[in-house]
Amino acid sequence: MAQEASSSTSSKTISLKTGDGEIFEIEASAAKQMKTVQRLIDDLGDDITIPLHNVFSKELPKIIEYYKKDITGEITKDFEAEFVKDLNDDEVKVLFLAANYLDANKLFEFLSQNIADRLESKSVEYVRKYFGVENDFTPEEESKLREERAWSFRGIKEDE
């Protein structure tokens, strides 16, 4: 299908279908900020519902909310703080992966920083669980590594 000229009005909306079958509307100018969505629009046209296999109905509204604010230039530090305030570490991670899948750069960078801030005072064990990484060091190897950097292990918060 031929793509509309890039001077499409901001009132034009695109339909997005999540991996769990729900449909959400988003303004074309907001969709432009998510490169994956824009690529799909370029391939499939903007009149059909764009399927997003890897994003679900729990995350997509939040992402749409972010970009709604972005296109009106209203994203402030206060808004971003409020945006993640009630999300726990796992919810932020899911949102972060969705932003990655959608190639939504601004949200991706904001969430990278937010996750980094959350991890700042956490322990090695917590980080392993968070990223789903298995420890393949032997107990001897691990204690040797910790000894070499003993000073860096002082002053960590207990795991939540």
* Nearest CA-CA partner of 111 in 89, 133, 91, 96: 96
How far the first Cα of the chain sits from its last, in Å, is 52
Q: Check if the beta carbon of residue 93 is closer than 8 Å to that of residue 115.
A: yes
Q: Which is nearer to other proteins, 87 or 101 (CB)?
A: 101
> Is residue 157 near other proteins by the rule CB under 8 A?
no
Alpha-carbon gap, residue 7 to 145, rounded angstroms: 58
Per-residue tokens: 98: 């969705």
Shortest Cβ distance from residue 20 to other proteins (Å)?
4
Q: Which stretch binds other proteins (CB under 8 A): 7-15, 66-74, 78-86, 96-104?
A: 96-104
* Nearest CA-CA partner of 131 in 115, 113, 146: 115
> Is residue 1 near other proteins by the rule CB under 8 A?
no
Shortest Cβ distance from residue 112 to other proteins (Å)?
5
Residues touching other proteins, count (CB under 8 A) = 46
Q: Which stretch binds other proteins (CB under 8 A): 3-11, 41-49, 76-84, 102-110?
A: 102-110
Shortest Cβ distance from residue 138 to other proteins (Å)?
10
Q: Which of 23, 76, 105, 157 binds other proteins (CB under 8 A)?
A: 105
Q: Are strands 23-27 and 13-17 parallel, antiparallel or unpaired?
A: antiparallel
Q: Check if the beta carbon of residue 55 is closer than 8 Å to that of residue 102.
A: yes
Alpha-carbon gap, residue 53 to 36, rounded angstroms: 12
Q: Which is nearer to other proteins, 12 or 137 (CB)?
A: 137
* Nearest CA-CA partner of 20 in 44, 52, 48: 52
Footprint of other proteins on this chain (CB under 8 A)? 19-21, 35-36, 53-54, 56-59, 93-94, 96-97, 100-101, 103, 105, 108-109, 112-113, 115-116, 119-120, 123-124, 127-128, 131-137, 142, 145-146, 149, 151-153, 156
